[in-house]
Copies of this chain bind each other. A is one copy, B any other.
Amino acid sequence: MPLKLDRRDPYFEMRFTELLAGKREAQQDVNDTVQAIIADVRRRGDAALVDYTRRFDRMELEAGAIRLTDAEIDGAAAQCPAAVREALQFAAERIESYHRKLLPQDLDYEDASGARLGARWRPLASVGLYVPGGAAAYPSSVLMNAVPARVAGVTRLAMVVPTPGGTLNPAVMAAARIAGIGEIHRIGGAQAVAALAYGTPTIPPVDKIVGPGNAYVAAAKRLVYGQVGIDMIAGPSEILVVADGENDPAWIAMDLLSQAEHDEAAQSILITDDAAFAGRVEAAVEAELARAPRAAIARASWASHGAIILVERLEDAVPLVDRIAPEHLELAVADPEPLSLKIRNAGAIFLGRYAPEAVGDYVAGPNHVLPTARSARFSSGLGVHDFLKRTSIVRCDAESLARLGPAAVTLARAEGLEAHARAIAIRLNLP
């Protein structure tokens, strides 16, 4: 049974705060193990990768075979069903088209002082993409991580993927090819993150590492941060559906379950102004759970973290949405636009009755890597900005420095930084 809250309940604020504070992930402390693995990869390079791959992925590997050959990639990709390859191609084109529109403009102008100022966006030289093995090997995630990097102009994209028992995932290989990835290493875990961050004889180091992974991968990314950049550490998935009573309850139930089926720690919340509708959705969830292939996971998520919140008017949902700051927000109402404009915090908003969140996971175009665990209050989904960096540009000549310099000299001296002051004063013949 999901949690039931009613905005009119005198204890609502307390209960809603508890819902917000609920921890959904067990913190697994693997730092010591991961630290040892990273140190070992830094010390022994490829030999350490070979050893850890034997131990964790149950396969013998020679250093010379860590990187997949083109024939191996293409051979596996050829096993991908044509319909899936076409759907991946369709998705890649839409992701590329959307992300291309988000590329920032360089700035270059001369201001009234005569100084020339600018901002120059440049792609990262090299990015490592972590792709999980086994059941969590999602080809859609390969596209969502790799395509924006390509759009940004990243020259080298190096993918790592564990291949337990030596098996390559055809759809993942097809996605890599569609995204233009030619460098793939069959390693995973903390050892793969260490190899990308520090380099080994067969794997040159990268500038940033992106992509999802288990607790070991997440811990490794945190530990190598600084040596390289990393993307956000994603938590379990979430959906918040704001729905009026005119929706088909089965549609809304499927949307709630499409997050719940990801993970027992996933969270699905419904906010509605119609108590009877809420009951119909709950019944529809139960009916679907009776036949869903991933029912055990979805049921655990729905029972432990699901919630139905009743409000008097749908506008009352707005402050609740902003406090939840959901990864995914659906506005399944007749006129979603005005409601949408009031929302400050959400990773992605899906508007209308025909915009199920699942369409955004694959083919809508925007990224499916989105901020979780209330971090949409202060962060954004993955995008081209994650693969660019900005250099500011300042050009002065003698005249413009004469206009800007004196104020800088005053401030430098007020801060007790005399060499700062003199670096300017000496050029202007000031005391």
Flag whether A186 is at the interface (Cβ < 8 A): no
Contact B365 A117 (CB under 8 A): yes
Interface bits A330-365 vs B (CB < 8 Å: 1, else 0):
000000100010011111111111111111111111
Contact A392 B83 (CB under 8 A): no
Interface bits A236-263 vs B (CB < 8 Å: 1, else 0):
0000000000001011001101101110
Copies of this chain, whole number = 2
Q: A residues 399-431 with Cβ under 8 Å of B?
A: 400-401, 404-408, 410-412, 414-424, 426-427
- List the B side residues contacting A8 at CB < 8 Å: none
Contact B366 A119 (CB under 8 A): yes
Chain B nearest CB from A264 CB (Å) reads 14
Contact A356 B423 (CB under 8 A): yes
Interface residue count on the A side (C-beta < 8 Å): 123
Interface bits A95-122 vs B (CB < 8 Å: 1, else 0):
0011001101001010100011101001
Which among B84, B397, B408 is the interface contact of A363 at CB below 8 angstroms?
A: B408
Interface bits A73-99 vs B (CB < 8 Å: 1, else 0):
000000001011011101100100110
Contact B397 A140 (CB under 8 A): no
Q: Which of A322, A366, A378, A426 has the largest count of B CB atoms less than 10 A from its CB?
A: A378
Flag whether A176 is at the interface (Cβ < 8 A): no
CA separation between A417 and B261, bound complex, in Å?
A: 7
Interface bits A284-323 vs B (CB < 8 Å: 1, else 0):
0000100011100010000000000000000000000010
Stretch of A60-68, A273-281, A382-390 on the interface side: A382-390
CA separation between A86 and B408, bound complex, in Å?
A: 11
Contact A396 B359 (CB under 8 A): yes
- List the B side residues contacting A392 at CB < 8 Å: 347-349, 360, 366-367, 370, 381
CA separation between A87 and B421, bound complex, in Å?
A: 13
Smallest Cβ-Cβ distance to A350: which chain B residue: B394
CA separation between A102 and B233, bound complex, in Å?
A: 27
Contact B347 A391 (CB under 8 A): yes
Given A94-B404, A258-B417: 15 more A-B contacts, CB < 8 Å: A87-B411, A111-B365, A117-B365, A226-B233, A248-B426, A251-B427, A347-B392, A352-B395, A352-B396, A355-B401, A358-B421, A361-B412, A363-B404, A378-B389, A380-B391
- 9 A-B pairs with least C-beta separation: A229-B378, A366-B392, A351-B395, A380-B390, A254-B423, A87-B407, A362-B408, A358-B420, A87-B410
A-B contacts, 30 of them at CB < 8 A, read A87-B414, A91-B411, A94-B111, A94-B404, A102-B119, A117-B364, A125-B322, A125-B345, A140-B415, A208-B378, A251-B426, A258-B417, A258-B422, A292-B418, A294-B418, A336-B395, A347-B392, A348-B393, A350-B396, A355-B401, A356-B427, A359-B394, A361-B412, A361-B420, A366-B392, A370-B392, A376-B389, A380-B389, A383-B390, A385-B385
Chain A contacts to B: CB under 8 angstroms: 81, 83-84, 86-88, 90-91, 94, 97-98, 101-102, 104, 107, 109, 111, 115-117, 119, 122, 124-125, 135, 138-140, 171, 207-208, 226, 228-229, 233, 248, 250-251, 254-255, 257-258, 260-262, 288, 292-294, 298, 322, 336, 340, 343-367, 370-371, 373, 375-381, 383, 385, 389-398, 400-401, 404-408, 410-412, 414-424, 426-427
